[in-house]
Amino acid sequence: MPPLTEEETKVVFEKLANYIGRNITFLIDNKEDPHVFRLQKDRVYYVSEKIAKFATSVSRQNLMSLGVCFGKFTKTGNFRLHITALSYLAQYAKYKVWIKQNGEMPFLYGNHVLKAHIGKMSDDIPEHAGVVVYSMHDIPLGFGVSAKSTTEARGLQPNSIVAFRQSDVGEYLREEDTLFS
């Protein structure tokens, strides 16, 4: 599995920075267990450096995946995060939105987050920033992009969209045939 090129690394880090900001350093600069990003076909994997070295003994055709799939590159060269990266995004997230129990199922079925479903949210969320969506029990459910800033969201109608859904844990069921292929 080859390492990412400079351009690919830039695209991946820009996308991650939208969600976790400067906390990207925690993903890379772990002295006890260093991790690296590797590319297999069009997918980007986050894997322990030690395991990545072992994987060099397996041919590319026989290697299906390695580590955690963070996302994939589209045909146009953009990077799209996968739901499989949620545990890392949730761990280092800058901006968070908690949704009430009555809003969990609509979100998990692929709908955006509405104002009526918001239980609480971070105070300083700017517009179009990456947010991680949690249940009120602090369970990460997915991630998306804020439609409005925190101050603008306070004055919205209950049926207004506060965050656009990018991915949710319901995708494990809805897209199980294509998620890892």
Residue 7: pLDDT band (50, 70, 90) is very high
Averaged pLDDT for residues 58-70: 83
b/e string for 92-131 if b means 16 or more Cβ within 10 A? bbbbbbbbeeebbebbbeeebbbbbbbeebbeebeeebbb
What is the average pLDDT score of the chain?
91
Of 50, 48, 65, 72, give the one whose Cα is nearest residue 1.
Answer: 65
Averaged pLDDT for residues 37-43: 89
The structural architecture, per CATH, of the domain 95-174 is Roll (2.30)
Alpha helices in the chain (DSSP H): 6-20, 24-28, 49-55, 86-92, 101-108, 150-154, 171-174
Q: Are 19 and 13 in contact (CB under 8 A)?
A: no
**What gap in Å lies between CA 155 and CA 180, rounded to an integer?**
41
Q: Is the CATH code 3.10.450.220 the one for domain 6-88?
A: yes
Q: Where are the domains of the chain?
A: 6-88, 95-174
What pLDDT sits at residue 71?
93
Does pTM top 0.75 for this prediction?
yes
Residue 59: pLDDT band (50, 70, 90) is confident
Model confidence pLDDT, tens digit, residues 82-140: 999 999 999 999 999 999 999 999 999 999 999 999 999 999 999 999 999 999 999 99
| Residue 56 pLDDT exceeds 90 | no
Of the listed ranges 19-33, 38-52, 55-69, 156-170, the least confidently predicted one is 55-69
Of the listed ranges 17-21, 114-118, 157-161, 170-174, the least confidently predicted one is 170-174
Model confidence pLDDT, tens digit, residues 11-26: 999 999 999 999 999 9
Q: The tokens of 90 are what?
A: 């949730």
Residue 181: pLDDT band (50, 70, 90) is low
- Return the half-sphere exposure (C-beta side, CA atoms, 13 A cut-off) of residue 96: 17
Residues 6+ apart with CB under 8 A from 157: 115
